[in-house]
Amino acid sequence: MASASIGAIHTHPGHSRRFQPGISGARDAVITALLLIHGLLAAALIGAITHQMLSVWWPPRAAPGSFFARFRAVNVASYTNAIIIMFVIQTFVGGVLLYPSYRVSSRVVMEQLRLAAPVGIFDLKEHFSTVALGLLPAYWYYWRQPLPAEQANIRKFLTTIIAFTIWWNFLVGHFTNNIRGLWS
């Protein structure tokens, strides 16, 4: 290692790139904060899309009396814009801000440990997200009010595809975020 003075440039053991002391810790703190934001947004997004998906597959039949009947009677069309905004923010935070860190640290470790399945399911996560992002304009269009009865199935299936993608992304992201702790 070079000089130990503050501001000196050091080579981190095991890495070929050079950095200043304190920069790595700050970067890790930012990544941790972004992961927390990403996780909190994911929880809100899962709640909204799950509520919306269940309401299209299990619509209200009578006046709400029980908790489940009230759950089904909520105007879930009002969730549409929030779901779209949260999904786009999630994709931006995860794809643009967090993916480079995953790519150079976690994925490398998984590949070194020959954990092909987690790497593959994370690749599927990327592909599913891309498809869901492409479906968002159609999703928005079919959630506008009022919806003709003959288009109800289109709404159901678009909502289901996006809900599946959001759940898949949440579970795979959670799993791959913790993978180093499982096998290292």
Q: Which helix (H) or strand (E) holds 11?
A: strand 10-11
Nearest 5°: phi and psi at 19? -150, 165
Tell me the pLDDT tens digit for each residue of 38-57: 888 999 999 999 999 988 88
- Do 152 and 160 form a contact (C-beta atoms < 8 A)? no
Tell me: the pLDDT tens digits for 61-116? 766 677 777 776 778 888 999 999 999 998 888 888 888 877 887 788 888 889 89
- The domain limits of the chain are 10-183
Q: Considering the entire predicted model, what is its pTM?
A: 0.77
Q: How far apart are CA 110 and CA 115, in angstroms?
A: 5
3-class DSSP assignment, residue 155: helix
The token pair at 113 is 């440990």
